[in-house]
């Protein structure tokens, strides 16, 4: 089965004073591919400077939260779609790109 090329926009951000920018990526999309799968592809084959959380891949750790088309999702569980826009969670302190600091919001024993 031939893979369909999809366009994905990612908000690239940093804390060093650079202006945020949306970058478009062309990704071969497979049926059932997750948002995390798309991020993995971009990192491995297109842009290894992309910062994102590579999680447990089964929704348990809850570390891979991102915003897709305005809705907060776990990237390891959410199914990717052509034209999706991915950004970081805005209510948390930004580290870089799609990585935020959850430390003040995580319960510890």
pTM: 0.87
14: CB partners within 8 A, 6+ apart:
94, 96, 97
With a cut of 70, say whether residue 12 has pLDDT above it: yes
Q: Could you give the number of structural domains in the chain?
A: 1
- What value does the mean pLDDT take over residues 46-71? 86
With a cut of 70, say whether residue 76 has pLDDT above it: yes
pLDDT tier at 2, thresholds 50, 70, 90: low
Residue 61 or residue 109, greater confidence: 61
- Residue-number span of the structural domain to which 76 is assigned: 4-105
Give me the CATH number covering residue 92: 3.10.20.30
């Amino acid at each position: 089965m031939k893979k369909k090329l999809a366009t994905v926009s990612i908000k690239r951000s940093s804390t060093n004073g650079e202006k945020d920018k949306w970058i478009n990526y062309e990704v071969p999309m497979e049926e059932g591919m997750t948002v995390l799968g798309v991020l993995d592809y971009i990192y491995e084959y297109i842009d290894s400077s992309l910062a994102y959380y590579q999680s447990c891949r089964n929704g348990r750790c809850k570390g891979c939260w991102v915003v897709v088309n305005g809705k907060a999702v776990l990237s390891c569980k959410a199914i990717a779609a052509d034209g999706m826009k991915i950004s970081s969670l805005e209510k948390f302190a930004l580290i870089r790109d799609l990585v935020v600091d959850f430390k003040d919001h995580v319960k510890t024993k």
